[in-house]
Amino acid sequence: MAYDSPMFDEIIEPMRAELTNIGFEELHTPEDVISAFENNSGTTLVVVNSICGCASGIARPAVRQALESGPKPDHLVTVFAGRDVEATAKAREYFTGYPPSSPSIGLLKDGKFLYLIERRQIEGHKVQDVKNELSEALEKYFG
């Protein structure tokens, strides 16, 4: 379901800014996703952002902390579930073997999917746990 209203945009703007303020590029269309995933060489961290509490209280802080201390991907991109519906669906097509999940955090290298932290690994967990999981994955795949 897409939420298409100025009020929703106002509500989610700070949630988007948490990632864009630390260098994430927003992908709004399927074409944006294809370009970012297939045309960028090197490493890519993608966050499927969400309005839910586990995105606000756990996922986004964990991503920020992991990036402060670990290997830095070449590209940081994000889609917003519930808002950028078609872009989110396109991004999820790359996460083979995983059901749709938001929030989620994925890693790609040269357009090839490597790793995903799903909502079930975020919701109900501590920021430090998710940060550690992401940091270990960044080191393993990008270090």
- The residues annotated as belonging to the active site are 52, 54
In single-letter form, the type of residue at position 5 comes to S
Widest CA span in the chain: 41
Contact (CB, 8 A) for 87 and 32: yes
Contact (CB, 8 A) for 114 and 43: no
CA distances from 35 to 23, 134, 139 (A): 17, 24, 25
- Give the C-alpha separation, 42 to 106, whole Å: 14
- Give the C-alpha separation, 70 to 137, whole Å: 10
